[in-house]
Amino acid sequence: MRSAAHGSLVFETHATRAEAERSVAEEIAALVRAKPDAVLGLATGDTPTGVYRELVRLHRDSGLDFSSVRTFNLDEYCGLAADDPRSFTCWMQTQLFAHVNVDRANTHLPDGRVAEADVVRHAAAYERAIESAGGIDLQLLGIGRNGHIGFNEPGADLHTRTRRVELHAWTRADAAAAFGGLEHVPTRGITMGIGTILAARRVRMLAFGVRKAPLVARTLRAAPDPAWPASYVRLHADARLVVDRDAAP
Ligand code: F6R
């Protein structure tokens, strides 16, 4: 593992994706052992899958205890049924929640089915729930092809909080296969804001594979810039960008 500082952002390159995933899962496990009711900020997509697999393994083989852990996910699509397999809610069940002893009542995702008139109230309640849990201890992030984090698409302001957003064309295009065609991809989502993400005590942004290398390069290069939301992590005092060799620029 090689590590270098880019301002306050620590950039960590691992020889393999598996090694990087193990190191992030180990950090989460250490946090949960030290603070059994830790508050984890979770992401979906391809990037965190190996970290979740490793957490499941640590639960199974070493008894890592999630019974008091609280989780808040970054985002959810609008308009999908609760049990829609393409929802992030279902995805989290399949990838992590169903395989560890987390209390379902302690897992939170924005509700994409909330009525039009209740979106603002729901988003404010999501922020309050994070706050009353004591804030997020560690937030996982991936980087979208357009630099988005959560569903904070290019143009997202530094001070944004949980809110409903219009999804960027590339975000929808990248989801088209999973939805069986672009026309079936929701046009909106609900996401934590940049301000919500930066309020976490630690931020761990992950990127794996050659297709992420230019995104990583831009995240390291860009001064914090709304045109590349991932660059906002450079403003955080305890942020790490963890990559494998293929994603290193
Ligand atoms: C999903 C999320 C997104 C993804 C990003 C990268 O909860 O927050 O910002 O992290 O779109 O997606 P993958 O990991 O599939 O490349």
pLDDT, tens digit (0-9, with 9 covering 90-100), for 140-163: 999 999 999 999 999 999 999 999
Q: Rounded CA gap, 125 and 190, in Å?
A: 13
Q: Which of these is catalytic: 12, 21, 54, 75?
A: 75
Q: Rounded CA gap, 78 and 38, in Å?
A: 28
pLDDT, tens digit (0-9, with 9 covering 90-100), for 105-148: 999 999 999 999 999 999 999 999 999 999 999 999 999 999 99
CB 77 within 8 A of CB 88: yes
Query: Strand pairing partners for 164?
Result: 190
Q: Is 101 a catalytic residue?
A: no
| CA dist list (Å): 44 to 49, 74, 75, 86, 217 | 8, 8, 8, 11, 22
3-class secondary-structure state, position 151? coil
| Residue from 148, 232, 244 whose mutation best tests the ligand 1 pocket (most atoms within 8 A of CB) | 148
pLDDT, tens digit (0-9, with 9 covering 90-100), for 76-89: 999 998 789 999 99
Both structure tokens of 215: 């995104």
Q: Rounded CA gap, 154 and 233, in Å?
A: 14
pLDDT, tens digit (0-9, with 9 covering 90-100), for 207-249: 999 999 999 999 999 789 999 999 999 999 999 999 999 999 9
pLDDT, tens digit (0-9, with 9 covering 90-100), for 41-62: 999 999 999 999 999 999 999 9
Both structure tokens of 11: 């950039």
Q: Which of these is catalytic: 21, 54, 137, 153?
A: 153
Using CB atoms within 10 A of its CB, is residue 153 exposed (0-12), middle (13-18) or buried (19+)? buried
The amino acid present at 240, given as its one-letter code, is R
Q: What is the pLDDT of residue 103?
A: 98
Write down the residue that tokens 């959560």 correspond to: 150
Distance 46 CA to ligand 1 centre (A): 7
Ligand 1, atom 8: closest residue by C-alpha: 150
CB 196 within 8 A of CB 162: yes
